Structure 1
Amino acid sequence: MPSVVQIGADLHCTGGDHGFEDTQVGWGFCYPATWKYNERAQSVSANELDLTFDITDIPCASPSPVAGNASPRPVCSPGAGLFAFMIVSTYSRGNSANLAAWVQTNLTPAQPTPSPQGSPTSQVSPSPLPSPSPLVLLPIVWGNSTEAALMPDGRRIALTPHQVVIMDLRSGQGLLDLEAQMSKRLGTWKFVY
């Protein structure tokens, strides 16, 4: 048994995956063992926090040579050397009863108040501004979250007992395919708060 707590050890990652877990923000997940990342936080408060991950699929690993045999060939993953960027934002759930209520309160843009137009003698009342369309949320399963959805822009959003977590994957043509790797690992996420 290790004398130091291993990050993500209780996530039970399979297939050689590694675990990342941050008990201060209250979540963790499994990721491919070939990934290396630099993590940055814009704040030390877990109340409203964006953690960013600069992710690189390490180029290749050289197996240890065996005495008397030729040097082994390096082992490379299909995405060796590719990189991408992931942002995981954590917000307070507040008193929102469900995900749709939190999104409506926190992500729907405010509408400007209409002001009277025309000359002072004009009797035409201003037309009301249309109310913003609510975001269409496609329900998904995301770890042990209370409720989760895929937003129209591709971000994933999860409601937990005390928080809302949004995952934004930033990659594109010729970059590390975070979507393929993280979508099949959504079930590994563990939300603590």
Structure 2
Amino acid sequence: MGEDLCKILITEDEISSRLDELAAAIDRDYEGKEILVLGILKGAVMVMADLARKMHTPLTMDWMAVSSYGSGTKSSGVVRILKDLETDLEGKHVLIVEDIIDSGLTLSWLKANLESRGPASVEIATLLRKPDATTVDIHVEYVGFDIPNEFVVGYGLDYAEKYRNLPFVGTLAPHVYGG
């Protein structure tokens, strides 16, 4: 990736260690319950796979794809469901797994949409959160890392569908995205 990256923000080992801690907290909070772990495509694939493997709580998985970005680096605020769930949420404990929370607009809309489907509970787990970028008040129960408001890639996060396969989270050089 060479000159495309400015620096490594969070190493592969730091991510793995923090996911161990999040999995332990989730297992404790959902003891005696079964949960539906809901990954948000495409970015949450890495986080959800690694987190689910570290958890001991009985779980099922499903995926949604929502979009509010288009090809830019800022949220448009308009949310579209590109792939909906295959699971009925009635009475289920739902854990949304995200790669990153920027403005929170998409996630706020998504949580309200899911809550309207009759689940027992809906909570959120995210690897990354940008507190300085958040524009809506949304409770996130499980946060891996709070990071600065920089453009990051790796570990599922992309720019123009590239860099998802990096095993760490790094900051993307502004010349790559015109920032």
Query: Which of these two proteins has the greater Rg computed from alpha carbons?
Result: 1
Q: Which has the higher contact order (CA 8 A, sep 6+)?
A: 2
- Scaled by the length of structure 1, the TM-score of the pair is 0.23
TM-score (norm 2): 0.24
